[in-house]
């Protein structure tokens, strides 16, 4: 299987604190790979490092076979690697549709001048963008709320809007930081369905960070477990579920 994202011995230090300690992970293309571990284990730091928020202190990160360590976040997003945030970061006073539009960095816009002059290319591009927004809202089940201000959405729908905005950048790989946090059981099932659909229908690669076991166990092809910044286990869900080191790490918290 082709490896899409690879962390090689990645260490991230903040002053005296080692948040991530020599972690290596290979994520295969077209799979859902979960990263789990107790609070403070270093999961978000892994996502921040992969997306260019912090450079690794040592080690390397490869995306599609090329090193992206130290590459700025916008460049990494343009390469096809997009994330969502643990605490949703939406523009609350903007509409649902406009929040999705803002995710479209990668769709090369027409020049400002042709937009101002209302040239046909600009109108054409504008129509394409609107169509794409409609498709994405349909995909995540938010078509009826396109004009609603994001702040008025119920929580589970905010989560789905974040996903639509990430997809607007046309990624080949998504990094999702706790997309199931705060969801009720039925909403968790919907999220599972959505993640599976992204993988099956679009061949999306997903690195999923979550504590919500029904999601992680339900959708993951492979799971990496970290504790205190170190990898303590890796394997398929049925093996991880009964791994003594994993059980001890979770019981210890
Ligand atoms: N920018 C930062 N500066 C200093 N310390 C940080 C920074 N970011 C994270 N840390 C520390 O690194 C460690 C790992 O944090 P991280 O947020 O990656 O954990 P996590 O596994 O995502 O936890 P949670 O499940 O609570 O989201 C923690 O001790 C945290 O306090
Ligand atoms: Mg976190």
pTM: 0.92
The answer as to whether 21 is a domain residue is yes
pLDDT, residue 123, reads: 78
User: Is any atom of ligand 1 closer than 6 Å to the C-beta of 87?
Assistant: no
- Give the residue, out of 42, 53, 86, with the most ligand 1 atoms within 8 A of its beta carbon, to mutate for a pocket test: 42
123 in a domain, yes or no? no
pLDDT tens per residue, range 90-148: 999 999 999 999 988 655 555 555 556 666 677 788 888 999 999 999 999 999 999 99
Residue nearest atom 25 in ligand 1 by C-alpha distance: 39
Sheet holding 66-67, edge to edge: 17-28, 3-14, 58-63, 66-67
Rounded Cα distance, 108 and 70, in Å:
24
SS3 252: helix
Q: Is residue 225 part of a domain?
A: yes
Q: Give residue for tokens 């972690």.
A: 23
Residue 182, in any domain of the structure:
yes
Instruction: Give yes or no for residue 40 CB within 6 A of ligand 1.
Output: yes
Give the pLDDT band of residue 253 (cuts 50, 70, 90). Answer: low
**Which strands make up the sheet holding 81-83, listed edge to edge?**
81-83, 173-177, 205-209, 32-36, 222-227, 230-235
pLDDT, one tens digit per residue, over 165-218 is: 999 999 999 999 999 999 999 999 999 999 999 999 999 999 999 988 888 999
pLDDT of residue 38: 93
Q: Looking at residue 113, what is its pLDDT?
A: 58
Cβ atoms of residues 24 and 7 within 8 Å: yes
Query: Which pLDDT tens digit goes with each residue over 229-249?
Result: 999 999 999 999 999 999 898
Q: Provide the domain count of the chain.
A: 1
Residue 179 lies in a domain: yes
Local confidence band at 59 (pLDDT 50, 70, 90 cut-offs)? very high
Output the domain CATH number for residue 180: 3.40.50.300
Q: pLDDT tens digit string along 9-37?
A: 999 999 999 999 999 999 999 999 999 99
Q: Are 169 and 147 in contact (CB under 8 A)?
A: no
Comparing C-alpha atoms, which of 6, 50, 64 is closest to residue 176? Answer: 50
* Residue range of the domain that includes 45: 3-80+171-252
The C-alpha atoms of residue 9 and residue 13 are separated, in whole angstroms, by: 13
Q: In this structure, what are the phi and psi dihedrals at residue 56, rounded to the nearest 5 degrees?
A: -65, 145
Instruction: Give residue 94's pLDDT.
Output: 96
Nearest CA-CA partner of 90 in 153, 162, 142:
162
Distance in Å, CA 86 to ligand 2 centroid: 6
Residue 199 lies in a domain: yes
Counting atoms of ligand 1 from 1, which one is nearest the CA of 47?
18
Locus of tokens 């099956």: 200
Whether residue 232 is contained in a domain is answered as yes
Question: DSSP class of residue 150?
Answer: G
Is residue 198 in some structural domain?
Answer: yes
* Model pLDDT, residue 214: 83
Pairing status of strand 205-209 against strand 32-36: parallel
């Amino acid at each position: 299987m082709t490896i899409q994202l690879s962390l090689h011995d990645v260490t991230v230090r903040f002053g005296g604190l080692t948040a991530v300690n020599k972690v290596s992970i290979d994520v295969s293309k077209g799979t859902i790979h979960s990263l789990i571990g107790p609070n403070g284990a270093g999961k978000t730091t892994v996502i921040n490092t992969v997306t260019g928020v912090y450079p690794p202190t040592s080690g390397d990160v490869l995306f599609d076979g090329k090193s992206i360590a130290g590459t700025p976040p916008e460049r990494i997003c343009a390469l096809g690697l997009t994330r969502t945030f643990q605490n949703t970061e939406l523009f609350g006073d903007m509409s649902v549709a406009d929040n999705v539009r803002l995710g479209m960095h990668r769709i090369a816009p027409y020049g400002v001048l042709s937009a101002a002059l209302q040239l046909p290319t600009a109108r054409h591009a504008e129509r394409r963008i609107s169509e794409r927004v409609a498709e994405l809202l349909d995909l995540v089940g938010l078509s009826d709320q396109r004009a609603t201000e994001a702040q008025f959405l119920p929580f589970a729908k905010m989560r789905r809007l974040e996903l639509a905005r990430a997809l607007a950048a046309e990624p080949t790989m998504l990094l999702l930081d706790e997309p199931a946090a705060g969801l009720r059981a039925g909403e968790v099932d919907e999220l599972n369905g959505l993640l599976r659909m992204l993988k099956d229908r679009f061949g999306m690669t997903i690195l999923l960070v979550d504590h919500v076991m029904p999601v992680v166990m339900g959708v993951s092809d492979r799971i990496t477990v970290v504790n205190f910044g170190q990898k303590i286990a890796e394997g398929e869900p049925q093996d991880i579920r009964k791994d003594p080191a994993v059980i001890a790490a979770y019981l210890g918290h």
